Every structure is written in structure tokens, then in C-alpha cells.
Structure 1
């Protein structure tokens, strides 16, 4: 067995590999989850959101972006993630104060080198607070702070883990330019500060990332365009207090994206994104669907 294969099997045996959490190849943040309307906070009220994701990868890439040739590697993750948002009537620093929570429900399959494992359950919960700004009828932005909680099941001996066994904090800034007919563009930027996994004494490096979308609204509720994500690990992983060389990850994804806005307070977005480049990570493709609906308040 070549050295690269041994390295990746070691990582798989120590840590989760999933679309929602990992220290051995993926990220605590579900890259590409956001789409059109990412930076537009709705009026005060309570809103329900539902994210759906299917992710599939058939290769793990090394630090050069080449296939690490882990034998028979397959990763498949299906996620349903309900999100509850309360946009309060309170103003803070000139913005609308909002609170939210996300609870992912994960179905995960991992296979590598003749071993396989299947797990289902609640993943790591995200909570956060945000301030929403409406600069004009077309331009909107959000500044937020999210906290990732280690609530998902984890065992360092398992091949697949739904949880990642450490917390993280993430400052977020999102901006949206929206026209009922014409150009629409969105970007959500975040900086993830990972904490230590106490069971493995492993600390994943910090990450800078962005979800993005750009499209054209046709004036009948439909918007079509493209979207994806970019991420770059800004610091190396550490284990037992030692910096691990060549451990920074990066990725870029792009694919078609659509949105339908009912004009009655609810809308749906959908996209398919292909990871065109990945380093120290799985490389695959994903389908994302997001539905937003008001549950109460002014709309």
C-alpha cells in the first residue's frame, strides 16, 4: 500500500468525513448551501427554512489536488436541515436583530479500502445572531455570528461520523443585489475558527470561504443563473500541538442555479454544483434545495 493511501486511511479512521463535518477531509460548514437571497433578511416575524442536500464523491485529493488513490473510496451524504429564524422588531446598530438555529438530519455512507459504514442521526447544531440592513430596495446585507455545537454522534474509531466532536465560531457577512427583473447577485463570506477535538487532540485549520450566485430575473418570479462556492484553509491543521505540513485544504465549485419567488412571502432555490478543484478534500458534486416560508409576523 502506498504512503498516500496509508495517510488517508489514517485520517478516515480518526475523524468524520461528511458534507457537514470533518477534520480529515471536509468542513464543518456545508459549502455551497446558500444561494439567491443569501444577504436579504426578511421583515420582522418568524420564518421556517428547509435545506436539502445530496452529496456524492468518488475520490479524495491530496495536497496537490491529485487523486490520492484511496482504494474503493465512496462518500454519500443526504441531509435535511430545518432552520428556524426569528427576525425581531429590535434595532441594534441600525440593523434588524435576528436569531436562528439549524438542526441537520444526516444520512451518511462512507466506503474505503474494503471497509464501509452507514450512519443516520442528528448532526451538529448551529445557532447564531444576525443584523440585517436594507440599504435600498435592491441592495441588502447581513452581518452575523454563528456557533457550531458538537451535538452529533462521534467515535474516533469509526470510519464515518455524523458529528465532528468540536465547536467552532464563524463571523459572517452576506450581501444581495435583487431586482424583480434584471441582474441578481449574492455572496456570503465567512471565516471559520475551529476548536480542538479532545478525543484526537486534532485542531483543523481556520477557513475563509464564500458561497456565491449570479443570475437574471425574468419578471415572472423565476431567476436563473449559476452558483457555487470557494474555500481556502488559512492555517494548517495541528495534532498534539504540532503543525501538520501540507494540510491546508481548498476547493472551488460551480453549477447552474434557479429560484422561484411566489411573491407571497415564500420562495424556493435549487442548484447543482460540481467541485472542479479540491486539495486535501473529497471532490464530488452536490444538489442543493432551499425553501423559505413565513410562519408568523409581518410579511
Structure 2
């Protein structure tokens, strides 16, 4: 019964943990897309970043972390398009920039154990940020940003695979990176995203605030190849407003990443694989992420 109750609550939120199963806890932001370099703002210029993510769901987890009975599988494939402009102006000693993010999502859910079979694809919700600040020291970097996820994607409360969430979210970003040696080959980094959500118009439910922390430990080889250990942790911090009390969602993952950047071309490629190991009130699975960065 607890699995059925959890599923009904998720559907009431348009699938807070189901509509975009690769999303953080109950928010918009997808954990694991930044990895080793997430806390590093590039120098002034115009940049495109394309993230291709594939999330393979192998189980549903209740609030205690136990798997729901039966066969519950699903896939989410997303191409996330991000445009970043770092200006030559400074604010509070930091490089100032703006950014926009638009995901394209394809979702297939086959949760036979709880009687759900749904699929959909389309444009997800648009993110706009008028404030990106990047600080740079001799052996450290820091970032602060603020922006808004807009309710622009298609959403239906009875379609958990809908590409949109059905509500707005304000997202604050804070992160930093530290080079552990003078040669700047070893780097440790952490990036946090805090989301506060608006009311979902077709259900009257306001999801509780959520937090994502991505972390990484990387080493750059003499060849220019960077290898590292990465992970993410995501929590729903508050109960949903306007819905019956339920378990708060969590996601926890660890993985590996490899990347290379060619300065002469202004081109970078990264790949990461994450394994989720202790999710609560959410799907659980593995995330493969490929990232292309192009400086113009």
C-alpha cells in the first residue's frame, strides 16, 4: 500500500519524482550534469554547452529506500541546450554573465509493479538567469548565480511522463573549486543548487524546496586528459504544500568522469557515468552524461 500511496502523491505533483525521473528530488535541476568543472565560470566570451543525458531506471524506492514489488523500469533521454555569455564587466570583483537553458526530453515509464505505463517527449521548462558571477584566484574559483525555471513545457497531471513540471522554480547556485597543488593538476570542487518552487496550477500543490550538491575530485594528466571521481546528493527539504503528508525524496550517486579540452579549438568533451545507491521516495538507476562545450 505504501508504494501505491507514494505513486498517487507523485502523480498529483505531475510526477515530482516521475515526470522527469532524472531530475533532482522534486525539482527542475538534473544532478550530475556538471561534474568536475561545475563550479568554474569560464573567461569572458560566448559559450554553448550541450548535455546528452540517459537515465536508466531499474527500480522504484519508497521513503525507507525499499524497492517497490514487481518490474519497474524506465528511460529518460534528454538533450539539454545551454547558452552562457560572460561579459567583460565585473560585479563585486567577479566576472558577470547571463545564461539560458532549454531541455528536450524523451521519457518512457514502464512501472508494472505499480500499474503505470506512460511515455512522452517534447521541450521541457525554460531556465533564464540574469545573474552569473564568477570569481577566480590563483588556485581557486567560485560561482554564485540566480535564475528562474519557467513553466513553459507541456504538462498534464495525469501524464507522469510529461516533459514539463507544471510549476515555476527559483534556483540559486553557489559553488567553489580548489587546486590542491601548485601545478594545478589536482582539483576538488562542489556545486550546490537550491530550488524554491511555485504552485502547480492544475493540482494546487506547491512542492517543497529542494537542494542538490554535486562534487568531484579530478586529476589532469600531462596529455591534457582529466580523470576524476564524481557524485551527487539531492534532497527534498520540505513537505509539499496542498497535498497529504508524504515521504521526502532523496537521490545519492557516485561515479567517474573523463574530459579533455582543446584550447586552440575552444572545444571540450566530457563523459560521466553515475550509479545511484540510496534513493528515497524516487526512482533509482544509472545516469550516463556526455557534454560538449564550444567557445565562440
TM-score (norm 2): 0.90
How many residues of Structure 1 are paired with residues of Structure 2 in the alignment? Answer: 286
Q: Is the 8 A contact 2:271 2:290 kept in 1?
A: yes
The corresponding residue for 1:270 is: 271
CA 1:255–1:20 in 2, change beyond 3 Å: closer, same or farther? closer
Residue correspondence of structure 1 range 87-126 to structure 2 within 5 A: 87-113=86-112, 114-126=115-127
Measured on the aligned residues, the alpha-carbon RMSD in Å equals 1.9
Q: Is the 8 A contact 1:20 1:28 kept in 2?
A: no
CA distance in structure 2 between the partners assigned to 1:159 and 1:205 by the alignment? 18
Q: Is the 8 A contact 2:50 2:293 kept in 1?
A: yes
The corresponding residue for 1:215 is: 218
CA 1:270–1:21 in 2, change beyond 3 Å: closer, same or farther? closer
The corresponding residue for 1:130 is: 132
CA distance in structure 1 between the partners assigned to 2:229 and 2:222 by the alignment? 18
Match of 2:164, SS state, is coil
Match of 1:11, SS state, is helix
Offset at residue 266 of structure 1 (A): 2.3
Match of 1:202, SS state, is coil
Moved more, 182-191 or 94-103: 182-191
Moved more, 272-281 or 36-45: 36-45
Moved more, 211-220 or 46-55: 211-220
CA 1:19–1:127 in 2, change beyond 3 Å: closer, same or farther? farther
- Deviations along 1:24-46, one digit per CA (max 9) or x if unpaired, are x6532101111122122222111
The corresponding residue for 2:291 is: 290
CA 1:197–1:80 in 2, change beyond 3 Å: closer, same or farther? same
Match of 1:7, SS state, is helix
- Deviations along 1:248-267, one digit per CA (max 9) or x if unpaired, are 12221001111112233322
- Deviations along 1:145-187, one digit per CA (max 9) or x if unpaired, are 1211111111112232111110111111121235766212221
CA distance in structure 1 between the partners assigned to 2:240 and 2:126 by the alignment? 23
TM-score (norm 1): 0.89
Q: Is the 8 A contact 2:21 2:283 kept in 1?
A: no
Moved more, 72-81 or 50-59: 72-81
The corresponding residue for 1:260 is: 260
Q: Is the 8 A contact 1:221 1:263 kept in 2?
A: no
Residue correspondence of structure 1 range 182-221 to structure 2 within 5 A: 182-221=185-224
Q: Please, which runs of 5 or more residues in structure 2 have no aligned partner?
A: none
The corresponding residue for 1:4 is: 2
